[in-house]
Structure 1
Amino acid sequence: MNKFDEAGLNHKILVAIEELGFATPTPIQQKTIPHLLKSQDDLIALAQTGTGKTAAFSLPVIHQLDTTSNDIQAIVLSPTRELAIQITRDMEDYTKYMKEVYITAVYGGDSIERQIRSLRSGTHIVVGTPGRVVDLIKRRVLKLEKIKWLVLDEADEMLKMGFKEDIETILGETPKERQTLLFSATLPYEINQIAKKYMRNPQEIAVAGRNSSAENVDHLVYVCAPNRRFQALKRIIDATPEMYGIIFCRTRRETGEIADMLVQDKYAAEALHGDMTQAQRDHVMRRFRKGTMKLLVATDVAARGIDVQDLTHVVNYKMPDNLEVYIHRSGRTGRAGKEGLSVAIVAPREMNQVRLVERKIGKKFIPKEIPSGQEILRHRMFGYIERVSAAEVDEMDLADFMEEVNEKFADLDRDAIVQKFLALEFSRYSKAYKNAPDLNVSGREPAGNRGGSGLMFSRFYINLGSKNSLNPPKLIELINRQQGVNGVKVGKIEILKKISFFEIDSTYEKELLNAFANVDHDGVKVVVERTKSAPRADSPKPFGKRKFNRNSNENRFGKKRHSRGGGGSFRKRK
C-alpha cells in the first residue's frame, strides 16, 4: 500500500486525512492498515513514538465500525490521560465527515458523572487509561462484551507503570473472539507473556530494530560534577539559541524546581507534571505547540501523549532508571525525517548508564565539552550578527526617521555604534559568564569508586520493621513505588522489629528523601532519614546487585500503582 486510497478506506476518511496533510502512509501504516482490513489475526506492532501508530490502528477500525449499532465496538488503552486525549483528538479528526461515529475518552481531571452520562448515551469507541476503565467496569457502566477490537497502545509503558493486573481484568471482560492489537516501542519479556496468554495467532510487524533509536537522532553526552548540573544545562541552552525541546526530569518536584529556576533566569520555560490540573496542562501545551515557549520541563509520565513536531532537542537532565525510557525520550525528536539531538547531562559515576544505553540503541554517544563563557558569547554574538545581516529592511518605513537617527549617532563612529549595539544585546550573557569556571570533568569513574559497580551507598533509617510485616523484598517494593527512585540500586538491608536500615546509591539521596516526604504504609506515616555514617563503596554482596526496577517481575506483576489513569471524559458529538 503506497497510497491511502489503495487500501479501500471509506471515502469520508480519505477526505479527512487528506485535509490533515496525509500524503504517503508511514511504514507502520503501510504494514498495519492492510493487515487489519483483511485479517482477523491479532497483531503485535513494534514502532517508536512519532511513527504514525494512531492512524495505523484507528483508520481500519473506524472503517469497519457498525454505526447502526450503539454498542461499544472498540477500546483503546493508553498509559496516560495525555495520550488518551491525543488519540481521541486524532480519531475525531479522522471522523470529521462521519457524523454517525461517536468516540469517548475516559481520563482524570473531569467529572466522573459526566463521563458516565457520556457512556450511557452510547458510543462506538472508548479511549482510556487502564485504571479508570477498570473503575467504570466495576460500576457496571462500561460494558465490553461486544468489543471487536482491543488496542494496547504503548503496551511496554503500561506494564512499566504497574497496570498489568488492570489490563488482565479488562481483557477478561472482553469476548475471546475480539481482535487484539498491541503496539509497543520495545518487546520486553512481559509483552511476550501477555501475547502468549491473551492473543490468538499474533502476527508481528516492525518498522525499526528492537530497542533501537531513530537513525536521524544523534546522542550527545556532557559530563559535569553532580552539583553543577543546572549550570551545565544553562550553558547548553545558551550555546543553542535555536533549541526547541523537552527537558526530562525524574520527579515532579525536580521538574518544578528546574522550570522555576529557568524562568527566574529569563528563559522561556514551563513545567509539565502530574500535580497540574488539566486546564494548566492544556495552557502549557498550547504555548509550547505555538512556539511562544521553547523549553518544556517534564516528567516521563506527563510527557506521554505529547505530539509536537519539529523538536530540535531532547535533554536528559538526569538519565532515566529504565533504558527503554531513554528510547521513548529520544524518540520525541528527529521526526518526519528531520535531524534531532538527544542530550544527556551526567556525572562521572553515571557513565555506566550511558554505556548500557549505547548497547541498547546500537549507537555511540558523542562526547561534548560543556561550553565555556567565551564560547557561548562568541556563538551568540556571531549568530546575532548573521541575523542582522540577513534582515530585510523596508526603507519606506524608516525613511521618515533616518535623518533624526543619523543626528543622534553623529558623535559616534562606526565601531562605537557596533560596540554599543552588541553591548546592549549581550550584557546579560557577559555578566553571567564573566570569570565563569570550566564545568567539564572527566567521564571516567573516580579511582576510589572503581571495582564492583562503581557506586557509593548511603545509609538510611525507616520507621518500619518486622512488626509492620516488612521484609527486604517489601522494602524494595516500597522504594520502587515512589516516583524518582524506582529502580535505584539498593545495598545492605537490616530489618529490626520496629525500625529498619537500608542503603541506596548515594546519587539519589535527595530524591529518596523527597519521595518519602508524604508517604503512608498500612496506615503508618513513613519517616525516612539519612543516618550519620559516611557513604561507603559498594560491598561484595549488596542487595542492589539485582536491580529491582519496573522491569523486574517482582515489581510489575500483580502490583497496582497507587495512582491510576483518571476519571474524566472527552467525547466527540456531532
Structure 2
Amino acid sequence: MNLFELLGLRPELVKAVEELGYREPTPIQESIIPKILNPTHDLTGLAQTGTGKTAAYGLPLLQLTEQTAKKPQVIILSPTRELCVQISNDLKDYAKYLEGIRVTAVYGGASIEEQIKGLRMGSQIVAGTPGRVIDLMERGALKLDGIKYFVLDEADEMLSMGFKEDIEKIFSATPTEKRTFLFSATMPREVQALASRFMKNTETIEMARRNRAAENIQHYYYLVHAKDKYQALKRACDIYPDIYGMVFCQTRAEAKEIADKLIADGYNADALHGDLSQAQRDLVMHRFRSRTIQMLVATDVAARGLDVDDITHVIHYGLPSEAEIYIHRSGRTARAGKSGISLSILHTRELRQLKTIEKIAGIVITQKAVPTGEQICARQLFHVIHKIEHATIDEERISQFLPEIYSKLSWLSKEDLIKRIVAEEFNRFSAYYDKAPDINFKPGKESAELKPREKGQKREKSAPGKVEEGFTRLVIGLGYRDRINPNVLIRLINKNRILRDARIGHIEITDYQTYMEVETDYARPIKDTLENTFFNGELIVVEFSGRESQRKNKKGNKKKGRKGSPLKEIPFFKN
C-alpha cells in the first residue's frame, strides 16, 4: 500500500503522486496533510524549502476543493514568479485525475490578458504573486469572495520584499470565515505578528527549529583580504571541479561584476539580477537548471522563490546582514536528505557578523584554508583521471577513426601516452597557479585591515567613487549606529510598489550615514519615499550627494539630522 493512502487522500491523488514517483510522504507531508483534512485549525508550518511543503498543503486542498464550483476557493500567495509557476505546475500534476479542477498562475512579467482568460474559464485554485493578484482584483477579474482557504507560502520572504500591505489588502478582500495556512522557513517578529493578526485557533508544525539552518549542511568560511575575495572565489570553484552552485552578492552591480569576471575567466557562469527582462531571466534559469552553467551569481531578491535541485554549494560573497538571510541562502543546498556546503568568503571586518549568525542559526561555521595553487592542480589532475576512467565510449561512432589513431600513437609507450593525455588538461591550471601566492589572511601580518590607528590619528580619506552612469547617489542620515543595513533600506523603498523596479547600485554604510546609488529616473521618488518614512521614531533625512545637495543647502533648505544638526556629507574612507 502507498503510504499516502494512510493519510486519508483520495485514490485519484494517490495515483497521481505514485506516477510522479512518490511512495512515502516526507515528514512535513505526514504531519500537515491530516491536519488540513481535519477542518479544525489554521496552521503555521515552519520548514525549509525543499522539504515537500507544496504537496503538504496542495494535496489536501485539492481534495477539499469543490470540483463543480467554478470560482476561486483557494488563493496561494508566494513571493516570486518562479515559485508561483512551480506551485501551479505541481498542483496541476497532483490534480491529473481530478476532473474539473482548474489551477491558474497569476504573476507579473507575463500577459495579464491570458491570465484573465484562465480565470474566466472557472479556476478554483489561484496561485499568484501579491502585486499581480491586486492588479487583477482592481480590474474586477479576480473576485475573492468565495475563498475558503488562504495560503501564504514563504511568508518571511514576502515580508522581507515589502509585500506586507499587499498581503493585508488581499486578505481583507476574502471572507471572514476561512482557514489560513502560513508557511515560512524562519519566524522573525514580522511573521509572528502577521500570523497573530490573520489566524485563529492556530496550530504550529515545526519541522525545523526556528531560525535554524538545516543539519546536513557543512558551513565553512575563507578569511582573506578584501582585495583577494574574487581570487578566493575562483579557487573555491577550481577546488570543486563538479561544483553546481549559487554565489550570492549584496547588490545587482556586484552580482553582474562577479558574473562577468567569471565568464571572462572561462567559467560556466551567469548572473541573475533585477536588471534582466523576464525573457532573459527565464533563459538564465533554463541554462542553470539544465546545467549548461555551473555557477549562478545572484542577489537575494532576484533569487527569491527559486527551487533548483541538487545544488552542491552555496557561496556567500560576503555575509548577509541578517542570520535569516544566511539560513535561506544556505537552504538552497542539501535538499531532500542530501548534503551540501555553505561557504562564506570573508574579510576581517565580517567576523563579528559571523559570530552573530552562528549564535542565531545554532551552527558552527568553521574556518577553512583557501586552497593553494598546488592543491588545486592536484585536485584537477585527479578529476581528469576520473573522467578518463569513467568515460562513456561509443564504439560504433569512433571505430572508423581508431586504426589511424592507433597508428599515429603506436610509437608511444603506455606511460608516455598517459602523461600526454593528462598534461593536455592539467597544463592550463599548472600555468595559471604556478607561483600563486597564499591569499589566506594571516593575523600577525601588518595590514590596512587590522593595523590600529595611533591615538588621535584620523582615518585616511579617499574621494567618493565615481557614480555609475545612469545612477544618482543619495546621502541618507542613518548609519551603523542606527542599526541600518542594505536589506532594511531596500525593504523601506519597496513599500512604495511603484519603486520595486528601480535599480539599486552600490551601497556604502558608515557609522552615521549611508551612501546609496539609485537609478536616476527613480532618485527623486525614492528620496521622497524615504523622507516620508519613520525609522526608530524619526523621519529619515535624505539629500542628493554632491553639488545638487550643496545648492539646496545654500538656499537655506537645510534639513535637521537626527541630533538637530544639518545633514553634512562625510567623505568615504578606505577600508
Q: TM-score if structure 2 supplies the norm length?
A: 0.81
Quickly say closer, same or farther: Cα 1:397–1:147, change in 2 above 3 A: closer
AA paired with 2:304? R
Q: Give 1:4's aligned amino acid.
A: F
Give the conservation status (yes or no) of the 8 Å contact 2:252–2:505. Answer: no
Shift in Å at residue 403 of structure 1? 5.2
Partner of 1:542: none
In the alignment, structure 1 segments of 5+ residues that lack a partner are 493-502, 538-574
Corresponding residue for 1:491?
Answer: 511
2:450 aligned residue: 446
1:528 aligned onto 2:566: no
Deviations 1:153-211 (A, max 9, x none): 11111111111111111111111111000101111112221222221111111111111
- 1:464 is displaced (CA, Å) by 7.6
Partner SS state of residue 302, structure 1: coil
Q: Which residue of 1 aligns with 2:534?
A: none
* Residue in structure 1 matched with residue 195 of structure 2 by the alignment: 195
Note the C-alpha offset of 1:61: 0.6
Kindly, what percent of the aligned residue pairs are identical? 44
Residues 450-501 of structure 1: per-residue CA shift (max 9 Å, x gap): 99xxx99999799889xxxx97699977675387789975522xxxxxxxxx
Given residue 183 of structure 2, which amino acid in structure 1 is its aligned partner?
A: F
Equivalent-residue separation in structure 2 for 1:5 and 1:224 (angstroms): 54
With 436-445 and 254-263 compared, the bigger mean Cα shift is at 436-445
Q: Which amino acid aligns with 2:340?
A: G
| C-alpha separation in 1, matches of 2:261 and 2:420 | 29
Report the counterpart of residue 541 of structure 1 in structure 2. Answer: none
- Tell me, in whole angstroms, the C-alpha distance in 1 between the residues paired with 2:406 and 2:139: 77
More displaced 10-residue stretch of structure 1: 401-410 or 381-390: 401-410
Q: How does 1:369-388 map to 2 (within 5 A)?
A: 369-388=369-388
Three-state SS of the structure 2 residue aligned to 1:448 is coil
The residue aligned with 1:318 is: 318
- Stretch moving more, 43-52 or 241-250: 241-250
CA apart distance, 1:423: 2.5
Structure 1 residue 358: Cα displacement: 0.9
Alignment of 1:460-479 (within 5 A): none
The CA deviation string for residues 520-547 of structure 1, in whole angstroms up to 9 with x for no partner, is 224979743596846289xxxxxxxxxx
Q: Is the 8 A contact 2:71 2:146 kept in 1?
A: yes
TM-score, reference length from structure 1: 0.81
- The letter for the 2-side match of 1:330 is S
- AA aligned opposite 2:270: E
* 1:142–1:413 Cα change, 3 Å: same
Mean Cα displacement is larger for which, 344-353 or 402-411?
402-411
Matched residue type, 2:28? I
Distance 1:43 1:411, change over 3 A: same
Q: 1:4 to 1:214 in 2, by over 3 A?
A: same
* Contact 1:348–1:442 (Cα < 8 Å) also in 2: no
Count of residues in Structure 1 that have an aligned counterpart in Structure 2: 513
Cα distance in 2 between the residues matched to 1:216 and 1:463: 42
1:497-516 to 2 correspondences below 5 Å: 503-504=513-514, 512-513=516-517, 515=518
Aligned partner of 1:343 in structure 2 is 343
Do the aligned partners of 1:269 and 1:296 also contact (CA within 8 Å) in 2? yes
Q: Give the corresponding residue for 1:548.
A: none
Q: How does 1:129-168 map to 2 (within 5 A)?
A: 129-168=129-168
Partner residue in 2 for 1:28 = 28
Higher relative contact order (CA 8 A, sep 6+): 1
Matched with 2:538 is none
Secondary structure, in 3 states, of the residue corresponding to 1:343?
A: strand
In 2, Cα distance between equivalents of 1:199 and 1:184: 14
Q: In the superposition, relative to structure 1, how do residues 73 and 282 fare at CA in structure 2: closer, same or farther (>3 Å)? A: same
Q: How does 1:55-66 map to 2 (within 5 A)?
A: 55-66=55-66
Decide whether aligned partners of structure 1 residues 235 and 527 sit closer, same or farther in structure 2, where only a CA change above 3 A counts. same
Counterparts of 1:26 and 1:326 in 2: how far apart (Å)?
A: 24
1:519 paired residue among 513, 522, 525: 522
Alignment of 1:97-136 (within 5 A): 97-136=97-136
CA shift, 1:97, in A, is 2.1
Deviates more, 1:385-394 or 1:157-166: 385-394
Counterpart for residue 359 of structure 2: 359
User: What is the RMSD of the two structures over their aligned residues, measured on CA atoms?
Assistant: 3.4
The answer to whether the 8 Å contact 2:180/2:199 transfers is: yes
